[in-house]
Structure 1
């Protein structure tokens, strides 16, 4: 490639980096990619054949491909690897060059890097990228944060390669500093919650109703055509129809029931606790991944506590269908409440961190390309478009009515699961969250009294302002 003509360079040619770079090349952009791994460089050269793509294993040759001032995107593992790449780059860059971190970096790291690089004369953007391998190749949802001036340099490129909904790109500048990675963190937290809820619906139908995988495939396929329409329901339906290439059995039945996490769900929970925003479904989803990982202990306890003693699956076909229909409504209500919790955290963070997030824009860019895309995001977009400063989505009567209309089904599903001894903590937590928020009075007055009794922590009164302490007498 002729030197200094590439509009953007990509460092990290794994699945995401290579596919996003090829996406850019598909749209006519001149691009360059770099990786230390010769196989990854060769893969880019092969897949980019015939396109305006340079594939380099030498960092100096890579940098020499880029227009000045340079725009360099990193898609490498979060944490120390990002800092290491930046440290390697800086001595070879010029003032005004732009570094873009497109990985799942912790927003705290992004805020630090933004300040450090600005002090040295470099531009920096933290960009959340969602959509997985296929999204990167065909159109992801992108969540950029940082300098608005820096974003303007890559705006046309990002808008061109992003997913489209009604011809509108699923990308927008979200705010200064770490706003982009913060929004991506919350996106991933919501993703944790939705996946746990879907997994619980599976458990209820598999163990509770005794349905087979073919039946589950058909149910999720049907649900994805209705109120639950979304990417996660779509892939769930596909999963139950996939045979295992090694055995010919259903692949889902051969997968170990122990899930892991890479940290973004945990970060979301930690940040919500720091800001004192309740997000119990996301918290529960993180906890259940940890609990699932205690496989050896679970196997021992299942034997010791006779987990086989739960009631038999509901057998009558009519009763089964009634519960399946109730479960569809319950899952919708719980999923909606999970989005509600994530957006409440973004609302608080917008003020606390100075992001000035436009939540209508967040909901809008999540409608396509990303993992949590779903039809109900149109309702969130509509609610925030009408009331941009809406503090809590349950204050939107139209959204709340969707939960009210389905609350009895959610209660029935939770009750049925409890009676059968099938754990559905995220569904239970969704219901408790809803009931708590619509309770004008909660038993926290007793907690205040207890704290004052044992620790003189004081309490507030309903009939006077200020704080009070009493000398409590043991009876």
Structure 2
């Protein structure tokens, strides 16, 4: 099918490429004219056939809100907007209400896969009307990994980003546990091959995982993590997860502690935060802070610039 893609950065660009490899026609728009197929959102809409589908992959918050609002003025009844960024689920519900009054559909999709998604596929968590989801299934089938898993219609509008929000909160806790274990092994002077210990856990143990694989990769690249400063940003979804837990009176001690640990990383050069920073760079191509210059270091090979 033909689909518009707004935002061709490290995620949106790779997703557009995976769709093209899967036989879809993608019309892409980005503020960078060197990678954009059209010059404006209006040109993008004009290049699509009704009923249109436009996937938005721009930063959460005001950039997404402004993009959705502009598209809402350009699209017609029965067209649909897909927000695949890391938006707050409350924004999704507001967008759906505003667009619905004009007959334009809205679907929210939590997307996980980072810079590796182009080759491995993306885990997709969708929220929206069943008819809209069904119409977009050819796109979802192409983007997700091969096999039966990797996609869920999580519920009504907002459910996709809510599920992704919780996913990222769990991710915070898992990364923090690995990082603290690494710090203890390094500090104890009992284990002389710390990297080898982690590598030995990759098969046959209950903590084997893709994150563990990425941790081993990070240690192979920089065994003592001397090239990183112990500073880790948070995407905002960890905060939203903790706030949702407060709203629903659900205790989240591990995820909350992991979020606070990231806050603490901004006050001192935490050894554990070096590992969190390294993992974020490995799986998502996120910029990291150099230990020497304080400048943002480049992502790993295969990551986005």
Partner Cα separation in structure 1 for residue 261 and residue 103 of structure 2: 44
**Which structure: larger Rg?**
1
Counterpart-to-counterpart distance in 2, 1:146 and 1:91 = 20
Give the structure 2 partner of residue 100 of structure 1: 82
Q: 1:60 aligns with which of 27, 33, 42?
A: 42
Q: 1:56 aligns to what SS in structure 2?
A: coil
Normalising by structure 1, we get a TM-score of 0.55
Q: Within 2, Cα distance between the matches of 1:263 and 1:90? A: 26
Confirm or deny that 1:148 pairs with 2:135: no
2:237 aligned residue: 264
CA positional deviation for 1:137 = 4.6
**C-alpha distance in structure 1 between counterparts of 2:82 and 2:227, whole Å:** 40
Pairing 1:47-126 to 2, within 5 Å after superposition: 55-126=37-108
Match of 2:164 in 1: 184
Q: 1:288 matched to which residue of 2?
A: 261
Q: Please name the residue that 1:273 is paired with.
A: 246
The CA distance in 2 between the partners of 1:268 and 1:81, in whole Å, is 21
Alpha-carbon distance in structure 2 between the residues aligned to 1:205 and 1:291: 21
Segments of structure 2 that go 5 or more residues without pairing to the other structure are: 271-282, 285-305
**Corresponding residue for residue 113 of structure 2:** 131
CA distance in 1, matches of 2:195, 2:23: 39
* Cα pair distance change 1:128/1:9, threshold 3 Å: same
- Residues of 1 paired with 2:27 and 2:161: CA distance? 24
Q: Which residue of 2 aligns with 1:231?
A: 210
Give the Cα–Cα distance (whole angstroms) in 1 for the partners of residues 201 and 32 of structure 2.
43
Do the aligned residues in 1 keep the contact of 2:18 with 2:142 (CA within 8 Å)? no
Residue 225 of structure 1 deviates from its aligned partner by 1.1
TM-score (norm 2): 0.84
How far residue 211 of structure 1 moved from its aligned partner, in angstroms, is 4.7
Q: 1:65 to 1:169 in 2, by over 3 A?
A: farther
d(CA) in 2 for partners of 1:294, 1:150: 46
> Which residue of structure 2 lines up, in the alignment, with residue 409 of structure 1?
none
1:100–1:126 CA contact under 8 A, matched in 2: yes
Aligned 8 A contact 1:159 1:169 in 2: no
Equivalents in 1 of 2:111, 2:102: separation in Å? Answer: 26
Match of 2:92, SS?
A: helix
CA distance in 2, matches of 1:134, 1:56: 27
Native 8 Å contact 1:242 1:251 kept in 2: no
Question: Does the 8 Å CA contact 2:68/2:95 hold for their aligned counterparts?
Answer: no
Which SS does the other structure have where 2:168 is aligned? helix
Matches within 5 A, 1:21-420: 21-41=16-36, 55-164=37-146, 167-209=147-189, 211=191, 215-226=193-204, 227-243=206-222, 250=223, 252-295=225-268
Cα shift at 1:251: 6.8
**Which deviations, in whole Å up to 9, do the C-alpha atoms of 1:440-465 show, x marking residues without a partner?**
xxxxxxxxxxxxxxxxxxxxxxxxxx
Structure 1 unaligned residues grouped into runs of 5+: 1-5, 42-54, 244-249, 299-369, 372-475
Q: CA-atom RMSD, angstroms?
A: 2.0
Answer 1 or 2: which has greater strand percent.
2
1:40 Cα deviation (Å)? Answer: 3.3
Supply the distance in 2 between the matched residues of 1:63 and 1:131 (Cα, whole angstroms): 28
Supply the distance in 2 between the matched residues of 1:15 and 1:137 (Cα, whole angstroms). 13
Decide whether aligned partners of structure 1 residues 93 and 235 sit closer, same or farther in structure 2, where only a CA change above 3 A counts.
Answer: same
Higher helix share: 1
> Deviation per CA, 1:116-173, whole angstroms, max 9, x where unpaired?
1112211000100001011145301000001111111111220232013xx2141121
